[in-house]
Structure 1
C-alpha cells in the first residue's frame, strides 16, 4: 500500500512551521528514557493541560494554560497554543515580577524593578524588544507573528510525534512502543536551538535565548566542529536521582508517568474515551 503524500498528510501545519526554519537549528541534545508506561500514556500526558497546575506549579508564573487555544486537524493532528511571558489568568496578577520572568526581561536589557504593577504588559513589550534587538544582533523575527515570539506552541503529529516550539528552541518528542510489553516504552527527546551567536551579545548584555549557562554553548561548539551530541539512554530512576535531566518540566512529567500507567490497571478504571 502506497503511503499518503506527506504534504497532504501534514496539511496546514507545514506552513505554520516554516517561519521557524528548523533546518538552521542545531541539535544539542538527544535523550531517551526507558519508562514503565505505555507509549500512548506518555502521548496523552503531553497533549492535555489539566495536569499543569498540579504537576508544574512553576508554570503559573510564565504561561497561561487556562486560556490555551486548541486546534484539531485532519488525520489526527492537533495544536495547542499557550500564551507565554504572562501569568496564569486563573490566579490574580502579581504586583512584583515573578522570578521566572526576570531573566527574560534582563535578556532584552530591561530592569524588572520597573515592572512593578505592570506584569501584564511584559508579554507585548518582549515581543517588540525581541524584534528590534534580533534585527540588530543577527536573528530576524520578521517572519513570526507576535504570538510566535513569546508563546509556546505544541504540535502533535499523528501517531507519535509531538513538538514544543518557541522561536529560539525546538523540542521534538517520540514515545515508542516496547517490543512486547504494553506497560513499557521508550521516550526520546531531541533538543534543537538557534545558534547562540545570533541571539546573544555579551558585550551589550543581550540574551534573547534566555540561556544563562555554558552547557548549550559547549554543545553548539562541538556540533559546529562536526561532533554530534551523544545519544543518552537511561532509566526513570536516573532522572529521579538527579543523575540526568530532560529539563525540570519534563522531569516532573517523568516522575508521574509510571503511576499513571498503574492507574490504568485499577479495578475502578473501566475504559478511556
Structure 2
C-alpha cells in the first residue's frame, strides 16, 4: 500500500471533479485520494487549478468540508495565513515576528498538474507525466458522439468495501463471473461472447451485447427480460414475429426512430453502440460504460489507512432531460422517478454495503469481494489463473507492475 502511494498514485492521472462543479471564481471541491487531499478551484482568470490541501506554515488542512465558494481565496483556520486563488501567499499573520530567513522559502500553496477532458478534471502529482490526452489513448476519439461534456452527474453513491481496490478493479474487468453471481441479467446480456481490446497505458475496452440472451440459457421464445427491454423502446413483444436473436437489431432500429422523432442526433453512433455496453477501463482505477443515453462510471480509490478496504463510487451521468418520453434505461440504475433535469447538483449518497442500497448487482459484488480478499491472503492461494475472458485483468496488472517496478 505504501509503495503504491509513491510509485502509482503519485504518478498517474486521477479524476478529481467535473468542471460544472466549480462554475465561478472561488468555487472549489475537495478530492480525497488515500491519505492525500486536494483543493480543486477556479481562479479569477477562469483557470481551473489544483493544490494540495495543506498549509505550508504548519501543515494544517486548509479546508475540511467537501466544497463551497471562497472568492477571496483560502485562509488557514490554524493561524489565519491567507492564499489567493492562484495559490500565492497573500498574508502572513504577525509577519514581523518571523526572522527574514524563515520566510525566504516558497510559501505558496503546492500546486499539482490539472487538465480537463470533456468536462472531467484530472490531476497528477507528477510534473513529468505525459499529458492527460495521451494517457487516455483512443477514448477521446471514440467518445465524440456521446457529447460527454454536456452530460451531468444525476446520481453518485459511495461506499467503503471490504477488499483492496485492485480486487474491485479485477472483478469489474471481466464478465466471466456474471453467470455465477448475477444470473438475473443473463436473459438480456451475452456474457460469453465479449469483444476485448487492449490499448497502451493500461487501458482496455470490453464490448458486450445487451438485448441479447446469454448462450448459457436455453429458453424457448422471448424471455421476460427481452420482453421488458422491447417495451422500454416502444416495441410490443406480443406482436413481434422475429426470433429472439433479432430483438437486438429491432431495439437498435427503435432507438434510431425515437431519436429522429425527438430531434436527437444519433448519426455518429454505430448500431451496436445503441444497445451494447462499451466499457473502457482507464488505468488505474476508472471504468466507464458509455451509452447514448448516459454513462455508468465506477471509481475505485484506495482507503486512507487500510489496504483491505477501498472507496467505491457509482456515478450515473446523463444529458439533462425534462421530456417524460426520454427515460433512463433500466441498466443505468436510477430509481424510478429520479430527477434527471440536471438543474441541481447531485449530492453524494453514502451507503453501508452491508445494508444494501447500491442496487442488486453491486450488492452481490460487495459481498463477494470481501470473500475474495480473505481468500487471496490464504497460504493456499498460489496466484490467479486467467482465461481469455479475463485478458483485461492481465493487461491491468502488467501496467501496474511497470509502475511498481519504476519501469514507467
Q: Does residue 228 in structure 1 map to residue 345 in structure 2?
A: yes
1:204 aligns with none
Contact kept? 1:43, 1:160, Cα under 8 Å: yes
1:68 aligns with 194
1:230–1:208 CA distance, 2 compared to 1 (3 A): closer
Alpha-carbon distance between aligned partners in 1 of 2:250 and 2:235, rounded to the nearest angstrom: 10
2:370 aligns with 258
Contact kept? 2:159, 2:311, Cα under 8 Å: yes
**Counterpart pick for 2:382 among 267, 270, 273:** 270
What are structure 1's unaligned runs of at least 5 residues? 202-206
Contact kept? 2:213, 2:226, Cα under 8 Å: no
**Counterpart pick for 2:171 among 33, 38, 45:** 45
Q: Which moved more, 1:19-28 or 1:71-80?
A: 19-28
**Counterpart pick for 2:203 among 71, 74, 77:** 77
SS at match of 2:250: helix
Contact kept? 1:31, 1:231, Cα under 8 Å: yes
Per-residue deviation, 1:236: 1.5
SS at match of 1:147: helix
Bigger relative contact order (CA 8 A; separation at least 6): 1
Alignment: residue pair count:
258
Contact kept? 1:97, 1:116, Cα under 8 Å: no
Alpha-carbon distance between aligned partners in 2 of 1:209 and 1:20, rounded to the nearest angstrom: 15
1:112 aligns with 237
2:309 aligns with 184
What are structure 2's unaligned runs of at least 5 residues? 1-126, 386-408
Q: Does residue 219 in structure 1 map to residue 334 in structure 2?
A: no
Structure with more of its chain in helix, by fraction? 1
Q: Deviations over 1:226-249 (max 9, x none)?
A: x2222112322121xxxx2x2322
1:210 aligns with 329
Q: Does residue 27 in structure 1 map to residue 153 in structure 2?
A: yes
Contact kept? 1:107, 1:210, Cα under 8 Å: yes
Contact kept? 1:108, 1:208, Cα under 8 Å: no
SS at match of 2:214: coil
TM-score by length of 1: 0.87
Kindly name which structure, 1 or 2, has the bigger radius of gyration based on alpha carbons. 2
Per-residue deviation, 1:216: 6.0
Alpha-carbon distance between aligned partners in 2 of 1:142 and 1:250, rounded to the nearest angstrom: 33
Alpha-carbon distance between aligned partners in 2 of 1:109 and 1:234, rounded to the nearest angstrom: 34
TM-score by length of 2: 0.59
Alpha-carbon distance between aligned partners in 1 of 2:329 and 2:220, rounded to the nearest angstrom: 23
Contact kept? 1:97, 1:113, Cα under 8 Å: no
Q: Deviations over 1:16-42 (max 9, x none)?
A: 111111222231111111111000000
Alpha-carbon distance between aligned partners in 2 of 1:18 and 1:217, rounded to the nearest angstrom: 29
1:11 aligns with 137
1:8–1:124 CA distance, 2 compared to 1 (3 A): same
Contact kept? 2:189, 2:211, Cα under 8 Å: yes
What is the Cα-based RMSD across aligned positions, in Å?
2.2
Contact kept? 1:134, 1:208, Cα under 8 Å: no
